[in-house]
């Protein structure tokens, strides 16, 4: 599984009816993808499923991972 992180930026946002004109400024999309070195090729009739577990963790003020 490959993780893709993207943002539509202003040009694509202008074409999306469900986003405010400046919505791209606070939007991040995180998706799973069947791509690159992790791509899976299926024969006719075969099935494959992917799932992602995404969470956000808040850290205490002043926290530093170093």
pLDDT by position in tens, the chain (length 66): 788 899 999 999 999 999 999 999 999 999 888 888 888 999 999 999 988 888 888 887 888 777
In a domain, 7, yes or no: yes
DSSP label of 29: E
Beta strand residue intervals within 2-65, DSSP E: 2-6, 29-33
Specify the pLDDT at position 2: 84
In a domain, 30, yes or no: yes
Q: Are 13 and 19 in contact (CB under 8 A)?
A: yes
In a domain, 54, yes or no: no
* Total structural domains within the chain: 1
Please give the residue range of the domain that contains residue 17: 2-38
Please, what's the b/e burial string for 34-63 (b: 16 or more CB within 10 A of its CB; e: otherwise)? eeeeeeeeeeeeeeeeeeeeeeeeeeeeee
Q: Does an H or E element contain 12, and which?
A: helix 9-13
Specify the pLDDT at position 35: 86
pTM of the shown model: 0.60
Share of the chain above pLDDT 70, in %: 100
């Amino acid at each position: 599984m490959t993780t893709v992180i993207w943002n539509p930026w202003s040009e694509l946002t202008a074409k999306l009816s469900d986003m405010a004109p400046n919505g791209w400024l606070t939007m991040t999309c995180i998706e799973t993808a069947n791509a690159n070195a992790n791509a899976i090729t299926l024969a006719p009739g075969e099935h494959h499923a992917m799932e992602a577990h995404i969470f956000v963790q808040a850290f205490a003020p002043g926290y530093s991972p170093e």
